[in-house]
């Protein structure tokens, strides 16, 4: 079997892989599940672990001269078992309610033959080619059929790579490895794959939540300007009391006059936020996601579509919400997108109680 290409953070550890063995095992374990369609035989574990030992001698078991791959083989097996166990507990909100339960795959024993080796080598080579092609996507490229296919085909190893980064790594680090994740349309498509639901359906769900929550706090939400005003008002109502006045708000409204770059600047490490630009007739002219020195335009913006894009950025980049934005973004993440969370801070918990009572009252 041929090993897959290593992400840049693991390439830097070549020769000293034993110091971060679990990360290497996770990377190779996900690849093994992918190329075998999760039908891994004992022979597959043996062949693959020997290949890993050949590439990374420092991972061999020094206490077992006859079977130096024994430790890697056992760790691969343990990783796969744990990963399968996690797969069984995917939150209901992340699955398609109308999708029929997948049939259980019949386990097949894969003999250690040349055909198996050729198959996995060919698939590994194809995956590497797709990864390189995906990295060639520039910031000005749209969501074409070709590019969405590349994103879909490379989804599993990419999400695995991102999930193993240190907590709240900079988006610029992720974009350096996967440039398509600086393009709002492609970020939304990535998020749709994560949720197994198309972008328009996600946007529709979020739009329903915006209208319902606006009714709850007695604000109009018929026009784009009214919806933007509602977001700003809700943020100001639920943000922590000790937020610095110097911190830019999660949502802001500007006029389409003068130099827009003044409103699109951000510091490294600054949380992503939304900036809306309206003309003198209160028509939405532009929207940008701003944060961590980035300023990404939303194509053909609507308020609800821009809000979805902002939430998608946090999920696609695997970032936690900044404390100042946490409550307002959780409100739409939970009540608009059905995300399950145990993170109930004081303001969010109070909102949930009051909003649940409001929705209950609307049923009578």
- What would the pLDDT profile of 25-41 be if each residue is shown by its tens digit? 888 888 888 888 888 88
Taking CA atoms, 137 is separated from 14, 54, 172, 178, in Å, by 27, 34, 15, 9
Query: Phi/psi at 160 (nearest 5 deg)?
Result: -65, -45
Give the rounded percent of residues in the chain with a pLDDT score beyond 70.
86
Percent pLDDT > 90 in the chain is: 41
pLDDT tens per residue, range 96-154: 444 444 333 443 433 333 443 444 666 677 777 887 888 776 656 666 788 888 898 88
Q: What is the pLDDT of residue 292?
A: 92
Q: List the one residue out of 331, 315, 105, 82 whose CA is nearest residue 196.
A: 315
pLDDT at 141: 63
Strands 273-278 and 284-291: antiparallel
Pull the structure tokens for residue 83: 């990963």
Taking residues 54-69, report their average pLDDT.
81
Q: How many CA atoms lie within 13 A of 262 on its CB side?
A: 9
DSSP character string of 179-240: GGGGSHHHHHHHHHHHHTS-HHHHHHHHHHHHHHHHHHTT---SSHHHHHHHHHHHHHHHS-
- The string of pLDDT tens digits covering residues 206-233 is 999 999 999 999 999 999 999 999 999 9
pTM > 0.75: no
Give the span between the Cα atoms of 130 and 104, in whole angstroms. 28
pLDDT score, position 195: 93
Output the pLDDT for position 64.
72
């Amino acid at each position: 079997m041929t090993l897959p290409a290593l992400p840049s953070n693991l390439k830097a550890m070549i020769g000293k892989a034993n110091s971060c063995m679990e990360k290497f095992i996770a990377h190779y374990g996900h690849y093994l599940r992918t190329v075998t369609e999760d039908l891994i035989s004992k022979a597959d574990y043996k062949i693959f672990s020997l290949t890993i030992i050949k590439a990374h001698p420092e991972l061999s078991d020094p206490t077992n001269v006859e079977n130096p791959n024994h430790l890697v083989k056992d760790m691969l097996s343990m990783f796969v078992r744990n990963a399968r166990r996690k797969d069984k507990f995917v939150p209901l909100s992340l699955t398609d309610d109308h999708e029929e339960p997948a049939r259980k795959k019949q386990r097949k024993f894969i003999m250690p033959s040349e055909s198996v080796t050729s198959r996995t080598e060919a698939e590994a080579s194809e995956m590497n080619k797709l990864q390189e092609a995906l990295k060639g996507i520039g910031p000005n490229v749209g969501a074409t059929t070709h590019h969405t296919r590349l994103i879909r085909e490379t989804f599993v190893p990419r999400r695995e790579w991102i999930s193993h980064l240190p907590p709240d790594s900079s988006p610029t680090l992720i974009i350096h490895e996967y440039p398509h994740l600086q393009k709002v349309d492609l970020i939304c498509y990535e998020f749709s794959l994560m949720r197994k639901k198309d972008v328009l359906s996600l946007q529709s769900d979020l739009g329903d939540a915006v209208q319902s929550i606006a009714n709850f706090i007695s604000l109009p939400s018929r026009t784009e300007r009214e919806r933007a005003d509602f977001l700003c008002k809700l943020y100001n109502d639920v943000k922590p009391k000790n937020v610095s006045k110097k911190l830019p708000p999660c949502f802001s409204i500007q006029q389409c006059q003068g130099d827009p770059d003044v409103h699109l600047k951000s510091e490294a490490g600054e949380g992503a936020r939304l900036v809306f630009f309206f003309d003198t007739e209160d028509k939405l002219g532009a929207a940008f996601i701003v944060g961590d020195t980035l300023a990404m335009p939303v194509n053909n913006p609507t308020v609800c579509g821009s809000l979805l894009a902002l939430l998608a950025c946090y999920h696609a980049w695997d970032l936690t919400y900044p404390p100042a934005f946490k409550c307002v973004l959780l409100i739409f993440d939970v009540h608009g997108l059905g995300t399950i969370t145990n993170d109930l801070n004081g303001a969010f918990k109070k909102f949930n109680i009051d909003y649940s009572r409001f929705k209950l009252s609307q049923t009578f």
